[in-house]
Copies of this chain bind each other. A is one copy, B any other.
Amino acid sequence: MTKNVRIVTPVITEGIRTLDDLAPFERADLTFSHSLLQVGPSSIECEYDEALAVPDTIAKTIMAERDGADAVVIDCMGDPGLKPAREVAAIPVLGPCETSMHVAAMLGHRFSIVTVLDSVRPMLEDKAKIYGVYDKLASVRAIDIPVLEIEEDMGKVQRALADEALAAVRDDKADVIVLGCTGFIGCADAIKSELARNGYEVPVIDPIQVTALIAAALADLGLSQSKTTYAPPREKPIVGFDMPRQPDAAAAE
Contacts and interface: CB of A to CB of B under 8 A. Distances in A.
B220 A213 contact: yes
A205 B226 CA distance: 11
Contacts of A51: 54-55, 58, 81, 84
A202 B228 contact: yes
A106 B94 contact: yes
Contacts of A245: none
Given A47-B84, A237-B42, A240-B40, A210 B221 contact: yes
A238 B41 contact: yes
Contact of A132 (B43, B133, B210, B220): B133
Interface of A: 12, 25, 27-29, 37-43, 45-52, 54-56, 58, 81, 83-84, 86-88, 92, 94, 98-99, 102-103, 105-109, 119, 121-122, 125-126, 129-136, 146, 148, 169, 173, 175-176, 200-203, 205-206, 209-210, 213-214, 216-218, 220-221, 223-231, 233-234, 236-241, 243
A7 to B, nearest CB: 16
Given A201-B227, A205-B223, A240 B39 contact: yes
Give how many copies assemble into the complex: 6
Contacts of A43: 236
Q: Which 9 A-B pairs have the closest CB atoms?
A: A39-B240, A108-B226, A201-B227, A109-B122, A132-B136, A175-B226, A47-B83, A102-B102, A48-B233
Contacts of A94: 106
A241 B39 contact: yes
B217 A213 contact: yes
A106 to B, nearest CB: 6
23 contacts: A39-B240, A40-B239, A40-B241, A41-B238, A43-B236, A47-B83, A52-B240, A94-B106, A98-B106, A103-B223, A108-B226, A109-B126, A109-B228, A109-B229, A121-B173, A169-B228, A200-B228, A202-B226, A202-B228, A203-B225, A203-B226, A210-B217, A213-B220
